[in-house]
Amino acid sequence: MIHEILPVGPLQCNCSILGDETSREAIVIDPGEEIPRILALLAKHSLTVKQIIITHAHIDHIAGAARLKRLTGAPVLYNQNDLPLVRMMDVQATWLGIPTPKVENPDDSLEDGKLIAIAGLTGSILHTPGHTEGSVCLYLPAQTLLFAGDTLFAGSVGRTDLPGGDTRKLLTSIHDRLLTLPDEVEVIPGHGPRTTIGSERSSNPFLI
Ligand SMILES: [Zn+2]
């Protein structure tokens, strides 16, 4: 598997490119910004984007999605419970002091249990509300890899003070859906360094 992580934009959202070496098909996760850099990496690996997955509709994760879709033709998928956040993209833009990006409705909603498959790679969606109502994680069991969005970080958890945030739901999501995964699962958070389920289970101060 080809896996590139690029921190993009002012908040350094971890955008991931996941590609299959044989089929050259790819998934892009959270293209928040810097679409030219993402396209250059796709070209470098001769990858064709088949799906654009958004872990949640905060501006730093979703702002580049419509542009990447327009340039590649790939559908944009996110959970429909985050549509209220899409409706307030102008408010989100003022948080960062940037122009309001064009954000469209999802081509399909990422519901819990939904299978995400391209030729050579298969994952499933875990609905993990709390950071936002529509927050999801993508789990690839064969690669023991979890894309956690802003639900779980190395040594921390997602903030819940923004609209739609709910601390009790966040902790329930993490305990019931993420900490039940095997210790060796590698976690790629929405920001900052990677970690593992085992290390967060044993040492994350927010989860003890
Ligand atoms: Zn967020």
Report how far ligand 1's centroid is from the alpha carbon of 144 (Å): 23
| Whether residue 208 has pLDDT greater than 90 | no
Report how far ligand 1's centroid is from the alpha carbon of 10 (Å): 13
Per-residue pLDDT at 123: 97
Residue of 89, 77, 56, 7 lying closest to 166 (CA atoms): 56
| pTM of the predicted structure, to 2 decimals | 0.97
Report how far ligand 1's centroid is from the alpha carbon of 203 (Å): 23
Report how far ligand 1's centroid is from the alpha carbon of 122 (Å): 25
Report how far ligand 1's centroid is from the alpha carbon of 84 (Å): 14
Strands (E), 129-185: 136-140, 145-149, 152-153, 156-157
Report how far ligand 1's centroid is from the alpha carbon of 11 (Å): 10
Per-residue pLDDT at 117: 95
Q: Percent of the chain at pLDDT above 70?
A: 100
* Chain segment 151-173, per-residue pLDDT in tens: 999 999 999 999 899 999 999 99
Mode of pairing for the β-strands spanning 108-109 and 76-78: parallel
Are the C-beta atoms of residues 145 and 124 closer than 8 Å to each other?
A: no
The neighbouring-strand residues paired with 118 are: 121
Report how far ligand 1's centroid is from the alpha carbon of 159 (Å): 8
| Banded pLDDT at 20 (limits 50, 70, 90) | very high
Mean pLDDT over 12-25 rounds to: 97
Report how far ligand 1's centroid is from the alpha carbon of 23 (Å): 32
* Chain segment 137-151, per-residue pLDDT in tens: 999 999 999 999 999
* Chain segment 33-65, per-residue pLDDT in tens: 999 999 999 999 999 999 999 999 999 999 999
Q: Find the angle CA(29)-CA(101)-CA(54) to the nearest 5 degrees.
A: 20
Report how far ligand 1's centroid is from the alpha carbon of 21 (Å): 31
Report how far ligand 1's centroid is from the alpha carbon of 199 (Å): 22
Cα–Cα distance, 108 to 91 (Å, whole number): 24
Report how far ligand 1's centroid is from the alpha carbon of 56 (Å): 7
Mean pLDDT over 7-18 rounds to: 97
Buried b (16+ CB within 10 A) or exposed e, 65-87: bbbbbeebebebbbbbbbeebbe
Residue of 174, 138, 32 lying closest to 92 (CA atoms): 32
